Amino acid sequence: MQAVSYFHHEGRPAEPELSRPGRARRTRFGERGVTLIELLIVAAIVALVAGLSFPSVASGVDSLRLRSSSNAIVSFLNTAIDRAERRQQVIEIWISPRESAMIARAPGEEFVQRLDIPEPIHIVSVQPAAEIDPQEPRRFLCYPGGTVPRIGIEIANQAGRRRMVSVDPITGVPRSEWEQP
């Protein structure tokens, strides 16, 4: 059982005070909490940490989008090349830097596949260089049993980081690698 003591101050009874050790005592107004100054300091520290870490997080997201787009292009090219070999069909690969899109199709429209590259990423160039406007669409043909054409697609993000997706004509395998600035 707890001992409760009552103290009188200026003629009126005071609040009971608990004598149990470890109990928090009431403040002057009977409430506990955080002051406005403490809350503002914590908010300022959180804002400072968020402001310092935002550029690196945004850069990481842009790099992730660039890598994801290059992986999608590798997969797209691999599907088109594999289709030409396995189905014994001529496959046309159409690449448009202006639209940042690629289309692979077989004659007769029985196979049509389209890849739209997401907006922050764009196609910078298509290799090998040709004597046409670099923004004009380029067409490549994959013949069954034939040599795979040398194709290089350079993509970039808004920050200027670039990746090159290329098809090795000897092995016929698409790959992606970082471009050196």
Angle at 115 between CA 131 and CA 112, to 5 degrees: 90
- The pLDDT score that the predictor gives to residue 146 is 86
Per-residue pLDDT at 164: 93
Q: How far apart are CA 154 and CA 96, in angstroms?
A: 12
Q: Which of 32-46, 53-67, 89-103 has the lowest mean pLDDT?
A: 53-67
Q: What is the pTM of this model?
A: 0.69
Task: Using the structure block, give the residue that is written with the tokens 């004598």.
Answer: 19
Residue 22 is given by DSSP the state: T
The kind and range of the H/E element at 165 are: strand 162-167
The C-alpha R_g of the chain, in whole angstroms, comes to: 34
Burial class (CB in 10 A: 0-12, 13-18, 19+), 121: buried
- Lowest mean pLDDT, pick from 2-6, 34-38, 93-97: 2-6
Nearest Cα to Cα of residue 160 among 119, 122, 133: 122
Tokens describing residue 174? 């698409």
Q: CA dist 167 to 15, 62, 75, 111, 124, Å?
A: 84, 24, 11, 21, 17
pLDDT in tens, 88-122: 999 999 999 999 999 999 988 788 999 999 888 99
Q: In this predicted model, what pLDDT tens digit does every residue of 126-157 receive, in sequence order?
A: 998 888 887 889 999 999 888 889 999 999 98
Full set of structural domains in the chain with CATH? 60-178 (3.55.40.10)
Q: Are strands 17-18 and 8-9 parallel, antiparallel or unpaired?
A: unpaired
d(CA 96, CA 103): 9
Greater confidence (33 vs 115) lies with 115
Span of 25-29, 55-59, 106-110, 174-178 with lowest mean pLDDT:
25-29
